[in-house]
């Protein structure tokens, strides 16, 4: 039961991925029960392959960070398989609602560890990744093929990649790849197990952003939410106001956001601090 080969052409991989049928809620639930209760690898394979297109779509959402699409897809697929292994169908959620946390976590950790990004510092990048996760949504794109049908990736980035869910890791080790997914890092396990709390945080921040007016939202997106914030001076020119006025708008917007988020430490703590210190001309 091998997964599709990501080889010379990303286009060929996408075509192959799209050949796997999407599962209805009832079909998915039956397969999830088969794997959860009987460790049926055929069921696990169907659960994985039916969601591979979501991994590709998610990989494209992170392409601006300069990481190869192939690497992101690989990390995302590992996250997807980990989610399948840990998914509890008795809780009533669709698989992708749970798997999205593992998929994005694997991709984000890979981005943060990539040479060059760590050297610039991770705080700004984590802030941008946090807001990107909010804007992208959680679990609503499971059947959406938009963004993966096109051919706007560089085939030169892609190298051959293939593995089997039930193949031994090596000639001297009978442990399979699926077996090896059980001991993922504690941070990722905690992230996935607390997905309801994470969903609450992201939903709350999304709702909080909705209280901002058009100008405030523009300032927050280009200052607080940006990996490299636009200077007060340049943003003032763009908006037709003074540098100090941009600072005031940003401060007012942050107060609105904090008020909208309420007093919950978990939710309020998710919001990065405003970029109020700006010495650039």
DSSP one-letter string for 185-216: -HHHHHHHHTHHHHHHHHHHHHHHHTTS-HHH
The more confidently predicted of residues 186 and 72 is 72
Residue 130: its pLDDT value, please? 58
Determine the distance from the C-alpha atom of residue 118 to the mean position of all C-alpha atoms in its chain, rounded to a whole number: 18
Integer-rounded Cα radius of gyration of the chain:
21
Between 218 and 145, the higher pLDDT residue: 218
Give the burial class of 148: count Cβ atoms within 10 A of its Cβ; 0-12 exposed, 13-18 middle, 19 or more buried: buried
**In the predicted model, is pLDDT for residue 280 greater than 90?**
no
- Mean pLDDT to the nearest integer, 148-166: 37
More confidently predicted of 5 and 191: 5
Task: Note the pLDDT of residue 237.
Answer: 92
Instruction: Please indicate whether residue 207 or residue 250 has the higher confidence score (pLDDT).
Output: 250
Q: Which residue has the higher pLDDT, 215 or 200?
A: 215
Segments of the chain assigned to CATH 1.20.120.1810: 10-161
Architecture of the domain delimited by 10-161 = Up-down Bundle (1.20)
Average pLDDT taken over every residue of the chain: 72
The CATH 1.10.10.10 portion of the chain extends over: 201-268
User: What pLDDT band is residue 233 in, cutting at 50, 70 and 90?
Assistant: very high
Residue predicted with more confidence, 258 or 132: 258
Domain 201-268: CATH class, spelled out: mainly alpha
Average pLDDT rounded to a whole number, residues 236-257: 91
How much is the pLDDT for 5?
79
Give residue 160's pLDDT.
Answer: 32
Closest CA to 142 of 73, 57, 46, 60: 57
Lowest-pLDDT choice from 15-24, 125-134, 213-222:
125-134
Mean pLDDT across 51-72:
88
191 band by pLDDT with thresholds 50, 70 and 90: very low
């Amino acid at each position: 039961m091998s997964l599709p080969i990501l080889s010379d052409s990303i286009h060929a991989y996408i075509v192959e991925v799209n050949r796997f049928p999407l599962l209805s809620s009832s079909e998915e639930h039956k397969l999830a029960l088969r794997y959860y209760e009987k460790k049926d690898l055929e069921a696990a394979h169907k659960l994985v392959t039916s969601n591979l297109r979501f991994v590709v779509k998610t990989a494209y959402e992170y392409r601006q960070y300069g990481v190869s699409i192939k690497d992101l897809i690989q990390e995302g697929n590992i996250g997807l398989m980990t989610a399948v292994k840990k998914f509890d169908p008795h809780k009533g959620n669709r698989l992708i609602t749970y798997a999205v946390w593992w998929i994005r976590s694997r991709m984000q950790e890979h981005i943060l560890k990539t040479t060059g990004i760590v050297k610039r510092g991770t705080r700004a990048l984590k802030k941008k990744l946090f807001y990107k996760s909010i804007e992208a949504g959680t679990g609503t794109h499971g059947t959406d093929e938009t963004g993966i049908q096109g051919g706007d990736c560089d085939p030169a980035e892609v190298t051959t990649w293939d593995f089997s869910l039930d193949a031994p890791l090596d000639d001297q080790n009978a442990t399979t790849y699926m077996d090896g997914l059980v001991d993922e890092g504690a941070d990722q396990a905690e992230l996935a197990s607390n997905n309801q709390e994470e969903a609450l945080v992201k939903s709350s921040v999304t709702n909080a952003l909705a209280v901002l007016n058009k100008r405030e939202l523009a300032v927050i997106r280009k200052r607080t939410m940006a990996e490299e914030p636009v200077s007060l001076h340049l943003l003032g020119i763009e908006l037709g106001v003074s540098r100090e006025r941009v600072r005031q708008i940003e401060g007012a917007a942050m107060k609105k956001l904090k008020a909208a988020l309420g007093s919950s430490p978990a939710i309020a703590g998710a919001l990065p601090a405003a970029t109020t210190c700006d010495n650039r001309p």
